Structure 1
Amino acid sequence: MTSAACSSNPSHSAGSFGPIERAANRLVGAAFSPHRHDTYTIAVTMAGVQAFNYRGEIRYSLPGQVLVLHPDELHDGHCHDEAGFSYRAAYVPPTHVQAVLGGAELPFVVDGVSPNPALVAAAYNMVIDCAGVEDPGAYEDALYDLSEAMNQETGKVTAARIANRTAVMRAREFLDTAVVDGVQLEELEQVSGCDRWQLSRDFRALLGTSPYRYLQYRRIDLAKRLLREGATLADAAHGAGFADQSHFGRTFRKAVGLTPKEWLRSDLFRTIVL
């Protein structure tokens, strides 16, 4: 039996970056012939075992690992056994990674596959979590984490520097006023007077999270208040600035560990910190 199912389409990314290509594939008995991309291929195997030839050796990608192929590297792809495999991928232009790294050499994951937890988490965020999310900040956040994780995987460490506390506090104060409307990194650049990617590093260093996730936490706080006041799930999602109820549900579960419905049924719903 030979079959292949594939969907590939551009999805919205960060403001000036434009859309990137994403794919969801299932192969049984089929194979990709040798080819190249001018982007990074970031893929996670969802089921089965993906086999591919890369840099003179056959490699295998299993669920729980991340496949990272460097731009312009020849590779193929085929089934390891008759069960086939399925995967999801995002094709990230090297110029996007360069925007984060600021002129540093592009990271090269030599083996093409890694089980590194930080890189796997960053890849899942890029490939799955922010796919279809209209908020450009989701892609910017995923891009930062992926670029830094790839850099660390190759043994490179961003040079230490003193974080710009003034810029971070200005950015945080602005985010507190933009919970419903949202904000993009270029706006934070103007408010803070700091380069967006350096601001992302400093924000993480001083506040323990990224500007994007800080905003999502504030939105969840607002949604909880609206729900306590009797709002429906749909009204709470809209009132807290989420694009749709599905995005609200995913973000809520990441922040709280429960779906909004489970939270409403729990004792946490009645817990109010004074």
Structure 2
Amino acid sequence: MTDEIAAADAAGLERSCSSGATAGGSARGAPDGSARGAPDGIIQAPSSRGIERIEARFHGNGFEPHRHDTYAIGLTLSGVQTFQYRGAARASLPGNVIVLHPDEVHDGAAGTDDGLRYRMLYLPPERLIEAAGGSRGLPFVPDPIIADAGFRQCLTEALDDLEAEPQDLLLDDLIGRIATSLWHHADGKGSVAGTPRAQQAVLRCRDYLQANSERVVSSEELEEVSGFDRYTTARQFRKLLGTSPHRYLVMRRLDRAKVLLSQGGSLADIAADTGFADQAHFTRHFKKTFGMTPGRWMALRRSA
């Protein structure tokens, strides 16, 4: 599969994101590996340390405006990706790397009638904090489209085999190299890591939110967990993890919802089981986060 991705670098690179589907390595398509003649679909690899990896194929508009709480970093295998990001229209061509920052709104579409095929990984901000030993905050890469052969090779290795989880030693190496590449292209104004006390407070809040994602968590609870007042807690949380405590909580609910969707659960039952007020509330948050409804997500998953 590495040869397939390397060959695709000469044929078409894209941009942004998606989530969800069954694990798998190669995707159906034209003999040249493009999305031409292939149905739209999404393939998802097994998750490793919270890192999701996907392959997607789209024609026309793939995603409506949405945002993630992770970095979205990837390679286009064929086609041209057009997307809106930070107030500007973007177009990514073969040979580039795509980097989207947490909580930045973006959409995505195929720029030609031939369609679009790409691979993407979604990297939780805390993995970058760990890679820097807690000495740095989060890098901000101002240009979402990057020409960097070394970065591209690293992502090729990370996105090579979607059928299995990377071994620990390989994953450690890839995270470290990705972190180095992101800081190399960052604008020098990345977030400050914060004091060790603040970092530990945020990580305690993160763990608490993960453990209690199916219910409403109050500001008073996080004050107790963090040892800071609610405003300092929220500020330090965003500084370290790139998003707010509330959005982090909602994202963990949606992560669980995707698992239940893949198991065939009904929307109403999933909404109740994951802490949403009702099916409409769940659907609204799903679409805002992934750029499509749960129904379309499931249809793409089945077609992959």
TM-superposed CA distance for 1:70, in Å, is 0.5
Amino acid at match of 2:185: E
Q: Which residue of 1 is the match for residue 97 of structure 2?
A: 66
Equivalence for 1:34: 65
Secondary structure of the structure 1 residue equivalent to 2:68: coil
Counterpart residue number, 1:82: 113
**Superposed CA offset, 1:27-65 (max 9, x none):** 112320000010000110000111110001111122211
* 2:178 maps to 1:146: yes
Q: Distance in 2 between matches of 1:108 and 1:75?
A: 16
Over residues 89-148 of structure 1, what are the superposed CA-to-partner deviations in whole Å (9 max), with x where a residue is unaligned?
111100001111223131111121100222222222323368724411111110000000
Q: Number of residue pairs matched?
A: 151
- Bigger share in strand: 1
* Structure 2 unaligned regions, length at least 5: 1-36, 189-304
Which residue of structure 2 aligns with residue 106 of structure 1? 138
Larger Rg: 1
1:4 counterpart = 2:40: yes
User: Alpha-carbon deviation of 1:77?
Assistant: 0.3
Task: Report the Cα distance in structure 1 between the residues aligned to 2:163 and 2:124, rounded to whole angstroms.
Answer: 16
Assess if the C-alpha contact under 8 Å between 2:46 and 2:165 holds in 1: no
- Tell me whether 1:51 sits opposite 2:82 in the alignment: yes
User: Which TM-score applies when normalising by structure 1?
Assistant: 0.51
- Counterpart of 2:172 in structure 1: which amino acid? E
CA distance in 2, matches of 1:50, 1:94: 25
| CA distance 1:131–1:58, change in 2 (3 Å) | farther
Please tell me whether the aligned partners of residues 2 and 29 of structure 1 are also in contact (alpha carbons under 8 angstroms): no
1:13-24 equivalences under 5 Å are 13=48, 18-24=49-55
Contact 1:130 1:138 in 2 (8 A): no
Structure 1 vs Structure 2 CA RMSD: 2.2
- Secondary structure of 1:46's aligned partner: strand
> In the alignment, residue 143 of structure 1 is paired with which amino acid?
I
Structure 1 segments of 4+ aligned residues over 3 angstroms from their partners: none
Q: How does 1:249-260 map to 2 (within 5 A)?
A: none
Which of 159, 168, 192 is the equivalent residue of 1:127? 159
TM-score (normalised: structure 2): 0.46
* Structure 1: segments with no counterpart, 5+ residues: 157-274
Counterpart-to-counterpart distance in 2, 1:9 and 1:135: 14
